[in-house]
Structure 1
Amino acid sequence: MAFLGALPARFRRERVLIVGCGDVGLRCAALLGGGQGPGQGRVRLLALTSSPQRLPDLRLAGVTPLLGDLDRPETLARLAGLATRVLHLAPPPGGMGGPGDSVVSAGLDPRSRALAQALGRRSAPYKLVYGSTSGVYGDCAGQWVSETRTPQPSTARAQRRLDAERTWRDWGRRRGVDVSLLRIPGIYGGGRPGGAQARLLRGTPVLCPEDDVFTNHIHADDLARACLRALWCRAPQRAFNVCDDTDLRMGDYFDLAADLYGLARPARITRKQAEQQLSPALLSFMSESRRLRNQRMQRELRLVLRFPSVWQGLKG
């Protein structure tokens, strides 16, 4: 940041690189491009994509696309020294028979390691924000969870996210980069695919009250705003729970969504029935119960939620 601060304001221009520019990344780009984010229109937007088919859409969104693949580190050389701030929203690989599967099965994230190596070849960015998951906490038996709780991920997916967190924390300390970690729960809102309405229309059941789990949520628009707050916030190696103020069990969330959308409430089944009827992926979300505290996000990122509850977010 030193050389930018030494320049007259009219010459300062940040270069923000979005890695994993999907739905949330595009929302961030729209805020920055429209002068609504902390950059105040002084930002050149860049996005890494492995898909040539996405180039026109990214350009249309006011983003300069860069072809590169996190699974092919040799394609990332051009990222060195390119950005002043990096928003990393790309997930780890899924471990489904792809390249580097032995590393993935060990609970590691080779994508974050490849990106860290590429960014460190020349002058590193001043700030990096990594979008992690609240799944790193594992099952907390419905307890309230703050960022000081020791992570205990119980799924391979969450273990890879925790490995990515450690990669970026260590890299930030070594390179003198301000790294912030956003621990993100279920994202909803704004017509995202696979949302509550789609699940209700499919007739997917939920757990009965005695077996149900607490769940946490964040509206996609509020998440984008949190990402930008974190990009411009001084918070070295700091983790943030990024969630709204809702305190609901999963079944009650879908009941609320059904009532608001005018749809039938989902059937309630026991955990034993769920194990027989539902996919392992869906069962994993029904096997962890926690309630996230978001005071650090509100106090340090100074984020005022536009959708503080799912009732407001689903209704909107």
Structure 2
Amino acid sequence: AWWRDQRTAALVRALRLRGLPDALVYGSTSGVYGDCGGARVNETRTVRPDTPRSHRRVDAERAVRWFGRSTGVRASILRIPGIYAPDREGGTPRQRLQRGTPVLRREDDVYTSHIHADDLARACIAALFRGRPQRIVHASDDTELRMGDYIDLAADLYGMPRPPRVAREEAERQLPLQLLSFMGESRRLDNTRLKRELRVRLAHPTVHTGLRENAG
């Protein structure tokens, strides 16, 4: 079926056959929530995936949690938003700015969440050692920005022109479907579990400091 994640199913089968690990951390996506209308969401919110990719992640999460429950392996799931990495090719909006890709006007814009790649790595390691059994945690920083404001911030830091703002109807005519899918979902992730349970101290609490790294 199109919504099944066959790779994760194969992984848990292999782990059962070849020897169980002490812990397993699965990197999922915050896209499993679908559009939340800009609401602040925590890990107890019911999932409502809107895309085939998100449906597969929901299926993968179920497989991982069942694997943990049925074997005693401590399985953790990190729901991950937009990852950025200023020291890596394509890790920031720089290329998007160079192309002049439009962003939505403010009244149509969506909230997006972010995590610096180095902080995500810290979260993965913390989950391996401190994650509670079958627990879901948002691997997200403290940023609360609309997508267009995030791109504008990057433009200002890099000394590049801000992109044009367009109405949603115009964006639907101009932009590829994959990009539009991100522009159709608005939510703000609560990262309380990341800090309290996994005890992660973010090196880059917001994109304002994280994007500045190697901004020149």
Q: TM-score, normalised by structure 2?
A: 0.96
Gaps of 5+ in 2: none
The answer for the alignment partner of 1:193 in structure 2 is 89
Equivalent runs, 1:36-75 vs 2, <5 Å: none
Determine if the alignment matches structure 1 residue 117 to structure 2 residue 117: no
CA displacement at 1:198 relative to structure 2: 1.1
Q: Which has the higher contact order (CA 8 A, sep 6+)?
A: 2
Equivalent runs, 1:5-84 vs 2, <5 Å: none
Q: Deviations over 1:200-241 (max 9, x none)?
A: 111111000000000000000000010000011141000000
CA displacement at 1:123 relative to structure 2: 3.0
The answer for the alignment partner of 1:129 in structure 2 is 25
Q: What's the Cα RMSD here? A: 0.9
**Partners in 2 of 1:192 and 1:114 — Cα distance?**
31
SS at match of 1:108: coil
Determine if the alignment matches structure 1 residue 274 to structure 2 residue 210: no
SS at match of 2:96: helix
Q: Which amino acid aligns with 1:300?
A: E
Q: Which structure is larger by alpha-carbon Rg, 1 or 2?
A: 1
Q: Which amino acid aligns with 1:147?
A: E
**Partners in 1 of 2:18 and 2:41 — Cα distance?**
38
The answer for the alignment partner of 2:62 in structure 1 is 166
**Partners in 2 of 1:124 and 1:111 — Cα distance?**
17
> 98, 122, 129: which one pairs with 1:232?
129
**Residues 280 and 234 of structure 1: is their aligned pair in 2 closer, same or farther, counting only changes over 3 Å?**
closer
> 50, 67, 70: which one pairs with 1:154?
50
The answer for the alignment partner of 2:144 in structure 1 is 247
Larger mean Cα displacement after TM superposition, 183-192 or 213-222: 183-192
Determine if the alignment matches structure 1 residue 315 to structure 2 residue 212: yes
The answer for the alignment partner of 2:183 in structure 1 is 286
CA displacement at 1:122 relative to structure 2: 3.9
Q: Deviations over 1:59-92 (max 9, x none)?
A: xxxxxxxxxxxxxxxxxxxxxxxxxxxxxxxxxx
**Partners in 1 of 2:132 and 2:173 — Cα distance?**
45
The answer for the alignment partner of 2:160 in structure 1 is 263
Q: How many percent identity over aligned positions? A: 59
**Partners in 2 of 1:221 and 1:140 — Cα distance?**
27
Aligned length in residues: 212
> 140, 147, 163: which one pairs with 2:36?
140
**Partners in 1 of 2:66 and 2:126 — Cα distance?**
22
**Partners in 1 of 2:67 and 2:58 — Cα distance?**
14
Is the contact made by 2:131 and 2:198 (CA closer than 8 Å) also made in structure 1? Answer: no
Q: TM-score, normalised by structure 1?
A: 0.66
SS at match of 2:152: helix
